[in-house]
Amino acid sequence: MGVFSGTPAVFGVDYAWGRPGATALKRAGAKFACRYLSHDTTGKNLDRAEADELSAAGLWLVVVWETTANRALDGKAAGKADARAAAAQAKACGMPDDRPIYFAVDWDASSSQQDAINAYLDGAASVLGRDRVGLYAGYGPIARAFDAGKIAYGWQTYAWSGGRWDARAQLQQYSNDHTINGVGLDYDRAVKDDYGQWRVGVSPTEEDQDPMPEYVSVGVTKPQKLAPGKWTNVSWQHDYADTKHQHADSGGPSILWGSARYALTAAVTVTGVPAGTLIQARVVEIDAKDDSRFEAGPLQDYVSTGNETNIVYSLGADTVRADHRVRLQVTQHGTAAATVASGSAKVFFWR
C-alpha cells in the first residue's frame, strides 16, 4: 500500500456495477461515493435514481468518465467528445454545472504518453472549462498534468504510484477489493475540503463541507481464534492509514488512543459458527495501564448464517478519555472454537 501523507481525511468509496445502497454506505462510515459516467449500457453508470437516493441520505457524489482504459491516448478530439457526453450524463443525474468531472487514465501511463493525455485534457477543458477538469491516475500522470496546468482536480490511485502522493490531488484511492453489503468496491479518502463533491442540485458551500477528522484504517490479515462464550479482542495486522500513529501497537487490538471524540465502523468475517448461533460485538475503552479495567460500549447482536458470517459494527459517536485505548471485541455462543477470518476497521477522530 502507499504511505498515507498524514493529512486528515474524509472516507469514501468508488464502485461500478453493484449498488451497496445508501444505508449500507452510511453504516460503513462513507461520506461520499465516486461513480462512473460512460457509454456503458449494462448498469455501470450513475443514474438519477441512485443520485437521488444517495443525496437524500446526505452522501456526496463524485463522477468519473471512463470508457476504455487508454482512451486518453486518442487526444484532443476524444477529450472534447467525452466531455460533451459526460456533461450531458452528469446533468441528467442532477449534478450542478459548476462541479468537476474526473477523466480516467487507468493504466501505468509513461511520460512519453503525457502529451497525448494533456491533449485529451485540453479537449475536455474546451467543453467544460479548465476549472472543471479532473484526472484519475497514478502518481506520474497526476503530477505531470498538474505541473502543465491541465487539471484543477486530481484523484490519485495508489496503483502505479510507488508510495508517493501528490499533495495537490484532492482524492486518494488508497485500497482496493473491499466489500460493503455484498458489493465489491475500493476505499478512497478526500484530503481537501473541495474534492468535486455534489448532491442533486446542490454544490457544497463552506458550511456544507464535512469537517476533516483524523483517520485510522486497519485490517485483519491473519486468522484469529474465537473461543465460545469469551470476549476476544480483534487484532489488526495491517495499517491502511494511520494519520497520527494511533494504532501504535501495530498488529495488536488498540486502534485509537485517547483523549478524542471518535466514530468507529468495523466489518468482520467469522467462520465456523453454526447457522442460527448468536454472535455479538462491542467496542471497549480500556485503561492503558490496566487491561482489566475497561468500559464497554453498545452491544450489537448478529445471527450466524452458517459457515461464513459477515458482521458490521458501527458506533456513530463517543468519547475516549486520556490514557485509554479503543478496541473491538467479538464473542460467539456456539459450542466449539470459531475463527475471525478477515476484517477491517475505520475510526474517525477529533482532538
Ranges of each domain in the chain? 10-190, 214-350
Beta-bridge mates of residue 32: 12, 60
Q: What is the mean pLDDT of residues 293-311?
A: 92
User: How confident is the model over 20-61, as pLDDT tens digits?
Assistant: 999 999 888 889 999 999 999 999 999 999 999 999 999 999
Q: What integer pLDDT is reported at residue 215 of this predicted model?
A: 80
Does pLDDT of 2 surpass 50?
A: no
DSSP state of 304: -
The amino acid that residue 160 corresponds to is W
Does pLDDT of 224 surpass 90?
A: yes
Lowest mean pLDDT among 3-17, 101-115, 193-207, 310-324: 3-17
Q: What integer pLDDT is reported at residue 195 of this predicted model?
A: 96
214-350 has the same fold as 10-190: no
Short-list 348, 35, 90, CA closest to 203: 90
CA atoms of 296 and 207, how far apart (whole Å):
34
Reported CATH class of domain 10-190: alpha beta
Q: What integer pLDDT is reported at residue 29 of this predicted model?
A: 81
Does pLDDT of 316 surpass 80?
A: no
pTM exceeding 0.85 = no
Q: What integer pLDDT is reported at residue 212 of this predicted model?
A: 64
Residue 242: band (very low, low, confident or very high) from pLDDT cuts 50, 70, 90: confident
CA atoms of 16 and 112, how far apart (whole Å):
30
CA atoms of 97 and 340, how far apart (whole Å):
47
Q: What integer pLDDT is reported at residue 3 of this predicted model?
A: 30
Fold designation for 214-350: Jelly Rolls (2.60.120)
Does pLDDT of 6 surpass 80?
A: no
Residue 141: band (very low, low, confident or very high) from pLDDT cuts 50, 70, 90: very high
> Nine-digit cell at 226?
474465537
